[in-house]
Structure 1
Amino acid sequence: MKKIIEGKIWTAVCVALTLLMIVSAIWIGMRYYVSMDIYQTPSMFLEGEYSVDGGEWKSIEKDRYITDHFHKIVFKGKMSKKLLMYFGSLTISSKNVWYTLKTSDGTVIQSYNFDDEKLSYEHTQTDKPLALDMPNTPGYCVKTIYPDYLTKTENITEDSDLIFEVEYPYSYALVSYNDCVDVTAYYNEGMYLRFFYDALPPVLLFVLICFFGLFFFPVASFILGKIDYKYLTFGMLSFLWGLYMIMQQISGYLNLWIVDPTVCMMMDKITGYCFVAAVLFYFKANMSSRGTRIAANIASAAYLSCVFTVFILHLCHIRDLNASSMTMNFATAGSIVIMIVLLCVEMRINRNALFFLLSWVPLLLTVAIDAVDQFIHLPGSHYFNYGLAITMIVQIVRLIGDLRLQYKEAIRHQQMQKELYEAKVSVMTSQIRPHFMYNALTSIAMMCEIDPKIAKEATITFAKYLRGNMDSLKQTGPVPFTQELEHLKKYLYIEKLRFDDLLNIEYDIQATDFVLPLLSVQPLVENAVKHGVGMKEDGGTVRISTRETETAYEVVIEDDGVGFDINEQKDDGRSHVGMENTKKRLHDMCGGEVKIESVVGKGTTVIVILPKEGQPNEDTLS
């Protein structure tokens, strides 16, 4: 079994690493062999100046991305000769903005505006597939300008003054121009080429992450023999992380395949909201106390209610998803803060909660940096994605380490179960060995002539005793003491039938609400009968008693037989494996121990101590 589990885990890891290497090789090969001259991605296709929200005019710097936050930004300048003469097409990919390209005299060359009757359907002959028909929502749009058409039909030359106006129609917040408008200049079908070159390799990588999350952690949990909610939620989190990152890579291309721009925007937003929901459920899975888990369920349900509400408002054309972004940002932040507070409360009883919180520091730090970036322009952008990647890698490493520990624990448990099974077989065979059965059957045969009624009762008792021994092979855990006592009484009934007046049995049972391994007391009683009072000419008494102390339950087996010297190494030709197995089973299953006191000529006392810490609660016993 150990080799099977280990083989499956290593197979999954090797397959994942192999696919990762293949994707990396494809990406590196494309980077090496594909020429960047096939297409270009200029920050702005005009050479001139721009103004943000009616402010001062700034020069457009070549090869420098425009990160200004705006509600309306206007560009004035000339289209470069290279774009007009050498590139066949110019594609503008926009997100949540309207824009218009016109000449200095106001002639519109290209527009994407709510007043545009054709909107984004002018390049297709279909009847608005997947259209939600929301004319006041820009969504995600991809449009193409053909320079050859401009030069021949519109008489646009490299000396013509052009104006490019971009308007963000939402009033609740400013956005960066670079995040709203992307330009691609190419010779032929460059948007698809750019997708294949820039977006496809990371998309394949994140597809691999999706499959990794969807199969590796849940399957690993199943292989270990149990369904662990923590691994299932993290598997879903990894899947949605990969899906979220895929959407980040392809969101600018969605309008190439999905005609309605609002549907493109909806897909991007919903993917992000689902990812946040998965984060909340994963947080809850790492909580152990009932109170914090209930509070986490309420917070998660409240967040999902917000998602459902804004989605319905979007479908009903009341308020689109982008207009509800600020509301959802507050809902997300509030839910995460609640989860962090609950985990802080959890630290009192679960020390792993602290390490779990620390593993999310990179993401929380980059979220804070992005929040500050809304007010001051920091170098670079999208810190959130880097923090998210670091955090998810930390989570994967942490859970793989946890899986490794559970794997070792599962192997140890299997080994212990094997040893316990062998011990139970040993106990059973030692108690139904041929001479014991011969003596029992001989005693019953003699009683058939003396008292048939007692002989019948003895036969039934002996049959139940044998059946109890056989049933012990199916028992994998501790049993209530009352069950062990009933089986013990059957054994002593048979021995009493054999020894008659030479064997006296006394019981003093003061405590029964505890558990112990099946057939763990009987070998001790058997020793008292056979090697204690059985070796004494005039017989004796075996006394079985139980008692409860402040910290443990105790089972005491006393006899007034011949006794022995516990310090003497006995070499009597008998195997003492049964006694050692009994001690091991008591220790492994209940944390118990066995103490033996004996005086030669006076008898032996055996005390089985079962700590209360290893016992189930009273509700379980009842």
Structure 2
Amino acid sequence: MMKIIGGKIWTAVSVVLMLLMLTSAVWIGLRYYVSMDIYDTPSMFLEGEYSVDGGEWKPIDADRPVTDHFHKIVFRGKMSQKLLLFYGSLSVSSKNVWYTLKTSEGTVIESYIFDQAKASYEHALTDKPLALDMPDTPGYRVKTLYADYLTGSAGVTEDSELVFEVEYPYNDALVSYSDCIDVTAYYNDGMYLRFFYDALPPVLLFVLVCFFGLFFFPVASFILGKIDYKYLTFGLLSFFWGLYMIMQQISGYLNLWILDPTVCMMMDKVTGYCFVAAVLFYFKSYMRNRGTRAAANITSSVYLSCAMAVFILQLCHVSDLNASSLTMNIVAAVGIAVMIVLFCVENRGDRNALFFLLSWAPLLLTVAIDVLDYFVHLPGSHYFNYGLAITMIVQIVRLIGDLRFQYKEAIRYQQMQKELYEAKVSVMTSQIRPHFMYNALTSIAMMCELDPKTAKQATITFAKYLRGNMDSLKQTAPVPFTQELEHLKKYLYIEKLRFDDLLTIEYDIQATDFVLPLLSVQPLVENAVKHGVGMKEDGGTVRISTRETETAYEVIIEDDGVGFDINEQKDDGRSHVGMENTKKRLRDMCGGEVIIESVVGKGTTATVVLPKEGQKNEDTLS
């Protein structure tokens, strides 16, 4: 059954991976074969120069994104002839900035700026204290300028000198211009065409990632027969990673469908907060000690509280989410750093823990590069997203490998249960084989004439003994030693009837608070009776004792019978399968072992050693 379920799991993984590869292939094909003349994405729609924060003027390169960090950046020059004459429309997608397009004489063509007087008036009319559209928040906006308007009403010609001013209104940090303004020139429905060719394929890719995280890891955990918090939190992490990457792809298009620019910005920020929270919960799933787990809970709670606080500040018009971005980034960085320290404290010296931390190295490296990019402009951008993608792919591969290992362990456990069942059948049948039943019934029959009362008690004991053997077939977990001892006493009571004064039973039970496989001591006692004391002409004593050491519990079976040479390979015609099964069950279920010591003519001692670490199985008692 487990093999069938496991096969379905890996089939599902294969299907998901095939869908991911197919989506990527379609995306590459569209990008390669479809003509991009239907739209253009220049870095700037003006041909001229620009100045950052009042600095020197630099030439505009239409083929190279403007990556300068700024508070206010000014472009001046002529409208690109290709954009003005060849395409019919121009869309400007802006994030968290105000901007104005005007002529060199000061005539405003298009303006998106904050007007305090107008905002106060409109706010007074609406009277919405919890409105999402804060009057001083730019948000995410898409504005389309049509060529007919530019060349008609606005009077823009090939020789018109235009000025494009962009202002980042927040004082907490500088941003890159290419992250704030995106330009698309096209014919009809160009923004939707650009979304279809540029954004939709990766969006579909990450939608699959979301479903992969939301269903595969939790379902795989359930199918394997346990609810593993680690897999559940990683499924959540994969889901929010996919959601975060989807938002990175579509954030510049949100205003096409959501009219309020502030809501568009809030959606982008909230997905980022959810992703960081998922990272913290994922790290917390590796905490086992009470102290580190409590510290991890506090760290996660602090971050969630901060996220809720900045969200409430947004709703109450105190401070918008973008103004709180730097603070939240610092809180997130500190939270993740604390989680890493806690992880190292709990898993110091663990080689697997080191590999786990190394798997996060790409993300940490790209974060460091982005911080460096803030001070020194580096070629390229969005290093964080690349590092995040590499890290998440490594995590997914690592977790799938871990699931595969768990699956193999489940198969091995099933095999062990099968062998356990067979061992129990072997032990049971060895105890109720015909000559044993014959001897027991004969002894009882003799007692019926000599001592009917004792015969009655012997019959009841023998029936309980047989029932105990049959019940053992249903028992899959270790049992308390007291239960095993009661069954042993029934067996020895029956043997005592047969051997009478030739068999003496002694007990020295000093420890009982431990577990062991059912019917694991009985084969040792049986050997002591039948092949030790039973082979001695004048009989002897079988002594059963237990004791506790610092590291283990011990069950000792001693007899003063004939003994044997443990180094001699003797073919005595008897099957030793029962003893081998007993040793294997003790090893697999409790980590125990059997030590045999014997001296010819003096007797045998069998010691069952049960390490205290193996006593965790006591929790599985049914």
Normalising to structure 1: TM-score of the pair? 0.92
Partner of 1:491: 491
C-alpha distance in structure 1 between counterparts of 2:30 and 2:146, whole Å: 27
Count of residue pairs brought into register by the alignment: 612
Name the stretch that deviates more: 225-234 or 343-352.
343-352
Partner of 1:477: 477
Partner of 2:41: 41
Do structure 1's residue 31 and structure 2's residue 31 form an aligned pair? yes
Partner of 2:414: 414
The Cα shift of 1:597 comes to: 3.8
Q: What does 1:85-484 align with in structure 2 at a 5 Å threshold?
A: 85-115=85-115, 132-348=132-348, 350-484=350-484
Do structure 1's residue 65 and structure 2's residue 56 form an aligned pair? no
SS at match of 1:596: strand
The Cα shift of 1:404 comes to: 2.9
Q: Look up the equivalent residue of 1:39 and give its one-letter code.
A: Y
SS at match of 1:201: helix
SS at match of 2:344: helix
Q: Look up the equivalent residue of 1:343 and give its one-letter code.
A: F
Q: Is 1:131–1:260's contact at 8 Å kept on the other side of the alignment?
A: no
The Cα shift of 1:617 comes to: 10
Q: 1:336 to 1:594 in 2, by over 3 A?
A: closer
The Cα shift of 1:442 comes to: 3.7
Q: Is 2:132–2:314's contact at 8 Å kept on the other side of the alignment?
A: no
Partner of 2:11: 11
The Cα shift of 1:549 comes to: 4.4
Name the stretch that deviates more: 436-445 or 395-404.
436-445
The Cα shift of 1:423 comes to: 0.6
The Cα shift of 1:2 comes to: 5.1
Do structure 1's residue 528 and structure 2's residue 528 form an aligned pair? yes
C-alpha distance in structure 2 between counterparts of 1:296 and 1:274, whole Å: 17
Do structure 1's residue 506 and structure 2's residue 520 form an aligned pair? no
Q: Which runs of 5+ in 2 are unaligned?
A: 120-127
Q: Is 1:96–1:180's contact at 8 Å kept on the other side of the alignment?
A: yes
Name the stretch that deviates more: 109-118 or 329-338.
109-118
Q: Look up the equivalent residue of 2:23 and give its one-letter code.
A: V
C-alpha distance in structure 2 between counterparts of 1:599 and 1:107, whole Å: 112
Do structure 1's residue 52 and structure 2's residue 52 form an aligned pair? yes
Q: Look up the equivalent residue of 2:388 and give its one-letter code.
A: L
SS at match of 2:375: coil
The Cα shift of 1:209 comes to: 1.5
Q: Look up the equivalent residue of 2:401 and give its one-letter code.
A: G
Q: 1:364 to 1:564 in 2, by over 3 A?
A: closer
C-alpha distance in structure 1 between counterparts of 2:147 and 2:380, whole Å: 32
C-alpha distance in structure 2 between counterparts of 1:318 and 1:551, whole Å: 62
Q: Is 2:46–2:76's contact at 8 Å kept on the other side of the alignment?
A: yes
Q: 1:345 to 1:549 in 2, by over 3 A?
A: closer
Partner of 1:577: 577
Question: Residues 419-457 of structure 1, C-alpha deviation per residue, up to 9 Å, x if partnerless?
Answer: 112111110111122333343334334434443333332
Q: Is 1:131–1:263's contact at 8 Å kept on the other side of the alignment?
A: no
Name the stretch that deviates more: 374-383 or 337-346.
337-346
Q: Is 1:9–1:220's contact at 8 Å kept on the other side of the alignment?
A: yes
Q: 1:80 to 1:533 in 2, by over 3 A?
A: closer
The Cα shift of 1:181 comes to: 0.6
Question: Residues 443-484 of structure 1, C-alpha deviation per residue, up to 9 Å, x if partnerless?
Answer: 334434443333332233222222221222222232222221
Question: Residues 193-229 of structure 1, C-alpha deviation per residue, up to 9 Å, x if partnerless?
Answer: 0000001111111112212222222233223322221
SS at match of 2:219: helix
SS at match of 1:531: helix
C-alpha distance in structure 2 between counterparts of 1:557 and 1:173, whole Å: 77
C-alpha distance in structure 2 between counterparts of 1:565 and 1:178, whole Å: 86
Q: Which runs of 5+ in 1 are unaligned?
A: 120-127
Name the stretch that deviates more: 454-463 or 169-178.
454-463
The Cα shift of 1:236 comes to: 1.2
Q: 1:327 to 1:414 in 2, by over 3 A?
A: same
Q: 1:268 to 1:451 in 2, by over 3 A?
A: same
The Cα shift of 1:72 comes to: 1.7
Do structure 1's residue 83 and structure 2's residue 93 form an aligned pair? no
Q: 1:248 to 1:159 in 2, by over 3 A?
A: same
Partner of 2:596: 596
Q: 1:104 to 1:550 in 2, by over 3 A?
A: closer
SS at match of 2:534: helix
C-alpha distance in structure 1 between counterparts of 2:567 and 2:331, whole Å: 73
Name the stretch that deviates more: 358-367 or 187-196.
358-367
SS at match of 1:485: helix
Q: Is 1:346–1:353's contact at 8 Å kept on the other side of the alignment?
A: no
Identity %: 85
C-alpha distance in structure 2 between counterparts of 1:620 and 1:147, whole Å: 75
SS at match of 1:374: helix
Question: Residues 284-342 of structure 1, C-alpha deviation per residue, up to 9 Å, x if partnerless?
Answer: 22233321121111111100000000011111222110111121112112112212222
| Runs of 4+ displaced beyond 6 Å | 116-119, 617-621
C-alpha distance in structure 1 between counterparts of 2:136 and 2:396, whole Å: 42
